Structure 1
Amino acid sequence: MAWEIARPSRTPALRGVDMAGFRIHGDGPAQLRAVPHPAVTVVVEFGDRCFDVRDSTGRNHSGSLTLGLAGSAAPVRVEAIECVQVRLSPVVAHAILGCSLAELSGNIVGLEDLWGRDTTRLRERLHETQSWHERFALVDTTLSARLRDDRRADPEVVWAWRQIIASRGRFRVEHLAARVGWSRQRLWSRFGTQIGLTPKRAVRLVRFDHAMHRLVRGHSPAQVAADSGYADQSHLYRDVREFTGTPVTSAVSEPWLAVDDRAWPSST
């Protein structure tokens, strides 16, 4: 199976947005995994697609779609696809997508169900565009146009999320409410509604993501476990299996980190 992976040459206009372009084709289907990531994933396909993603209920999805912050990997079957993948920070995802992240969490939703015919028009324009540079610019413009300030997350929720990200999942969640001046119940409720996860689950997801990036880059599991706040190496292994559905040795070789060129497995 052949992969073409493109990255934007400039940072997207909106903070909290990351993009990559994919063209994948081969002689037969490949089985991959959409591994949980601390972002809402949007896939806008624009070619002759032949792929599907299976959700937790066993239902298959194809075409342009949105995947909320998930707790486990979603199996993906790919024969061929051309698409732009967008990862949205959950603090801006609702403002762009217009759907509740609490309802989206762990689920797969067709992009047409959220954007209607605008999805079809975007797909057609991406298909007609000749370069990845132009495609990224088109998607960037589309996202900026759909941003609604009245749907932005509360500043307190944004601050809490950014503390979790900045600490790489090592921030003690019991301190979050006191730092923003809210009760624990209020913060947990607003955070869950606007981010789609509890603060505790968000910490675990961010910590796992950081640890996996280091493992893919060749750091030893023992060192990663010690540096990332895991109780021990077996604790790290349990988290990797829970989030990916595979042991560490398999997870580090799968091409699911493509949006981050620093973590893309060199063997792929």
Structure 2
Amino acid sequence: MREVRMEDRGGWRLAQARPHPALRPFLASYDGYWEDTVVPSRMRTLPGRHAVVIISLGTPLRLTVPGAGSGHYGTFVSGLYDAHGSYEHPGGQRGVQLDLTPLGAYTLLGVPMALLTNIAVELADLIGPAAGELVERLAGEPGWPERFDLLDRFLLHRLEIGPSPAAEVVRAWQVLEATGGMAPVAELAGEVGWSRRHLTHRFKEQVGLPPKVMARVLRFQRALDLLAGGDPGWAGVAARCGFYDQAHLNREFRALAGCTPTELLTQLRPQPLDVGADLVPAPA
């Protein structure tokens, strides 16, 4: 029987399992979730390093994304963002969340990630009837071990038929991620042997954001992680994450999160499950 870790987070329940070894380079998380009680929620979504697939086994949510306004979504894919958004749900959420690396999403979804930048799309609009069949079969499985086994089979098939990213894009992404967004685009281009213009075009196509914008998001995420982890040295965090000074850090948080670092950290609190992206409570 497949090993599944179950966790109760005060009204929320979480099921976690490791995906098949062949899928692990493409998946940052692989979580099932359900809410014991009906509690309406509203959350801020933040730019991050993952594309997100929500397989809903319950009520659709209302999602506001930077490039497409608001709408109701059931089982959907959310691409990479370069700005903040939000989601609202009436409560009683049930489903599965897959956090995909951008290049993993490119392969598993089979579409250029540039088409998904700053938007959300119903999974059925990307892969056809197989999306509805997956939801129906997941809902019919007797437990989470069986659901994760089904997801493995589904994703392994997608891996077989999906496109492979260019080796140069893979290398550029690896360097950019490893440096927390601090590698200049010219350095990335030299690393892979492409012109800066060609790298920008291919990187945006397969990752979803141009390398310069992706670097900006990675620096923001690193700074947020350090600040949320209790690092009190604002000037030191700014320097470690590639900002000119604390004022630059503040400007970037306003641009990407819609608020100052202090305001964002005030909103942060332990949540049952971050569903849909990198999420924090949205202001009323």
Q: Would the TM-score normalized by the shorter structure come out above 0.5? A: yes
Q: TM-score range by the shorter chain?
A: 0.7 to 0.9
Residue segments in structure 1 that go unaligned for 5+ positions in a row:
none
Pick from 241, 246, 249: which aligns with 2:254? 241
Q: CA deviation at 1:181?
A: 1.2
Higher relative contact order (CA 8 A, sep 6+): 2
Pick from 188, 193, 209: which aligns with 1:181? 193
The answer for the alignment partner of 2:7 in structure 1 is none
Contact 2:20 2:152 in 1 (8 A): no
Residue segments in structure 2 that go unaligned for 5+ positions in a row:
1-9
Relative to structure 1, the CA distance from residue 150 to residue 75 in structure 2 (aligned partners, 3 Å threshold; closer, same or farther) is closer
Contact 1:70 1:106 in 2 (8 A): yes
What is the CA RMSD across the aligned residues, in angstroms?
Answer: 2.7
Contact 1:66 1:110 in 2 (8 A): yes
The answer for the alignment partner of 2:82 in structure 1 is 71
**More divergent stretch after superposition (129-138 vs 94-103):** 129-138
Relative to structure 1, the CA distance from residue 249 to residue 206 in structure 2 (aligned partners, 3 Å threshold; closer, same or farther) is same
Pick from 14, 17, 25: which aligns with 2:27? 17
Contact 2:11 2:35 in 1 (8 A): yes
TM-score (norm 2): 0.82
**Percent identity (aligned):** 32
Q: How many residues align?
A: 262
Pick from 240, 256, 264: which aligns with 1:251? 264
Q: CA deviation at 1:118?
A: 1.2
Q: CA deviation at 1:32?
A: 0.5
Cα shift readout 1:153-205 (whole Å, capped 9, x = no counterpart): 10001000010011111112211111211111211111111111111001111
> What is the rounded CA distance, in whole Å, between the counterparts of 2:225 and 2:273 in structure 1?
11
**More divergent stretch after superposition (169-178 vs 139-148):** 139-148
**More divergent stretch after superposition (153-162 vs 201-210):** 201-210
SS at match of 2:92: strand
Relative to structure 1, the CA distance from residue 112 to residue 256 in structure 2 (aligned partners, 3 Å threshold; closer, same or farther) is farther
SS at match of 1:139: helix
> What is the rounded CA distance, in whole Å, between the counterparts of 2:37 and 2:247 in structure 1?
37
Pick from 82, 103, 124: which aligns with 1:112? 124
SS at match of 1:5: strand
Question: Are 2:171 and 1:159 equivalent residues in the alignment?
Answer: yes
The answer for the alignment partner of 1:54 in structure 2 is 64
